[in-house]
Amino acid sequence: MVLASPVRGAGRSVLRYPFVVSASATPLPHGPTTTVLGGGALGLTVALRLAQRGERVTLVEKEPAAGGLASGFQPAPDLPGGGPFLDRFYHHLFRSDTAIIALIAELGLSSNVRWASPVNSVLWGGKYWRPYTVPGLLAFSPLPFVDRVRMGAVLAFLKAWPKVGYFERHTAAAWLRRMMGTRAFGVLWEPLLRAKFGTRADDISLAWFWSRIYCRSFSLGFLEPGFQDLYDAMVGEIRRLGGEVRLGTHVEGARPIAGDRWSVSLRDAGGTPQTVVSDSVVSTLPVRVTARLIPDLPDAWRRRHDWGEAFGAHCLVLALDKPLLPENTYWLNVNDSGYPFLVVVEHTNYVPPSRYGGRHIVYLGNYHPMDHPLFGKSLEEVRSEYVPAIKRIVPSFDESSIRDAWVFGAPYAQPIVTREFPSHIPPLKGPLPGLWIGSMFQVYPQDRGQNYSVALANRLVLEMVSERRGSG
């Protein structure tokens, strides 16, 4: 559900939410104060909505750039102005991503969104296939025709059924194997589950799988030149409205103090300790990190909500002097075994290479437990491990075509969504006065995504405002 609609005013698009009472750059002198922990999509949206109310807000983010998992980097920092940002991990929008599409419009960036339907393929038996459309599935000869029809019927059911309740009772692996058949599941879906979730593949909830089929579109959107533009615009708007954004600042801890207020201990990039005192704290950090930083959380809350696992994301980004994948393939799921990465995303088979000085940008992505050895390897070690695998996929690939390379890792990127997951989701209202908690753990049955972070932030602020009115 879209919480607001854009209207035109003052030469720019402005989003009018039911609770927005002030868009002044001057904070209300006696309004509530809030410290927001985390500067990803969720934290930035919370801070923006509060600042739009004229409230005094301080956002704290440990990285030097805002955006969290969706932040970018400058591949050519020596260019004038530092050059354009490139996303550290591959990202795109779906047509169903109404919350973030509305936010992009609000900030006047809609004209920068490129919509297209790029080619998505799978590597099976050393060949490229396109089984993610009806014609492609019917032509997927590694499976008998009856299995293709059966799989298509199951996917159509998942796409059409609007309620999650039934799916919560099943695991994805067991249900898909039973409904699609062992052969169909083993060729297309089991390799993806095992590559993404490793030893936890058999435990993943069918609700998670359903949400990915039900909510996604074939049409994809990308904010050019990168999503960093959105998050930089949000930082600018928060500051224009009188809010404070502290980048490169670590949160050391937070605890309630006298007068129903909160004290948040910080340390800036130079190691200098700082303290922020506010009426409320909104933690948009992973729940486990929140539990570690707030020692006063009740034991009963910890037993129920300080729970579960999340894998980290890892990505090798290559800048090549020529295309890698054939036939303008944007996305290649690697279903063949024995590869050190689970997906190859050729970003410039979707966005023109001219955006990046004629270079072809390729992402090789993975999800692993956060203690996996891959996260400790250097760029050269990762590159030397991946290059032979790339040559297996594209025999004509020449390592000399690599003009630059970068490697990135991020913790808590992929929650492990099991059937027990819903019973452990924390409420947005924390167990201590003035504490609010929002994280990817709470976008269930989705598991992550910029859109769901923005939507959750909108809902969280609505609840904050409602709770204040009820107690006022």
Q: Are 74 and 202 in contact (CB under 8 A)?
A: no
Three-state secondary structure call for residue 142: coil
Q: How far apart are CA 467 and CA 472, in angstroms?
A: 8
Is residue 254 a part of any domain in this protein?
Answer: yes
CA distance 291 to 302: 7
- pLDDT exceeds cutoff 60 at 25: no
Q: What pairing do the DSSP bridges indicate for beta strands 435-437 and 280-283?
A: parallel
Report CA 42 to chain centroid distance, whole Å.
10
Mean pLDDT of 145-159: 96
126, HSE (Cβ side, Cα atoms, 13 Å): 3
On whether residue 106 sits in a domain, the answer given is no
Query: In whole angstroms, what separates CA 87 from the centre of its chain?
Result: 12
Residue 328 lies in a domain: yes
Nearest to 40 by CA among 95, 100, 85, 93: 100
DSSP symbols for 425-460: PPPSB-SSTTEEE--GGGSTTS---HHHHHHHHHHH
At 19 the pLDDT is 43
Same domain for 295 and 321?
no
Banded pLDDT at 6 (limits 50, 70, 90): very low
DSSP-derived pairing of the beta strands 33-37 and 280-283: parallel
| CATH number reported for the structural domain that contains residue 337 in this entry | 3.90.660.10
Task: Tell me how many domains the chain contains.
Answer: 3
CA dist 10 and 240 (Å) reads 15
Clarify whether residues 387 and 440 are in a common domain: no
Residue 61 sits in a domain whose CATH number is 3.50.50.60
Does 117 reside within a domain?
Answer: no
Whether 321 and 407 share a structural domain = yes
**Based on the domain organization, do 302 and 324 belong to the same domain?**
no
Same-domain pairing of 431 and 406: no
Do 194 and 236 lie in one domain? The reply is no
Whether the per-residue pLDDT at 31 is higher than 80: the answer is: no
For the purposes of burial, counting CB atoms within 10 Å of the CB of 307, is it exposed (0-12), middle (13-18) or buried (19 or more)?
A: middle
Same domain, yes or no: 81 and 55:
yes
Do 313 and 299 have their domain in common?
no
The DSSP symbol for 247 reads: E
Cβ(318)–Cβ(439) below 8 Å: no
Q: What pLDDT is attached to residue 82? A: 60
Residues 232 and 198 in one domain: no
101 lies in a domain?
A: no
Q: Per-residue pLDDT tens for 72-96?
A: 998 876 655 566 788 999 999 999 9
* pTM score: 0.91
Sheet hosting strand 127-129, strand order edge to edge: 127-129, 119-124, 329-334, 343-346, 360-368, 310-320, 402-415
Average pLDDT, stretch 211-237?
92
Q: 146 lies in which domain range?
A: 133-215
Q: Are residues 399 and 314 in the same domain?
A: yes
Q: How far is CA 77 from CA 82, 91, 210, in A?
A: 4, 22, 41
Predicted local distance difference test score (pLDDT) of residue 397? 96
pLDDT tens digits for 107-140? 999 999 999 999 999 999 999 999 999 999 999 9
> What pLDDT is attached to residue 430?
97
Q: Write the DSSP symbol of residue 241.
A: T
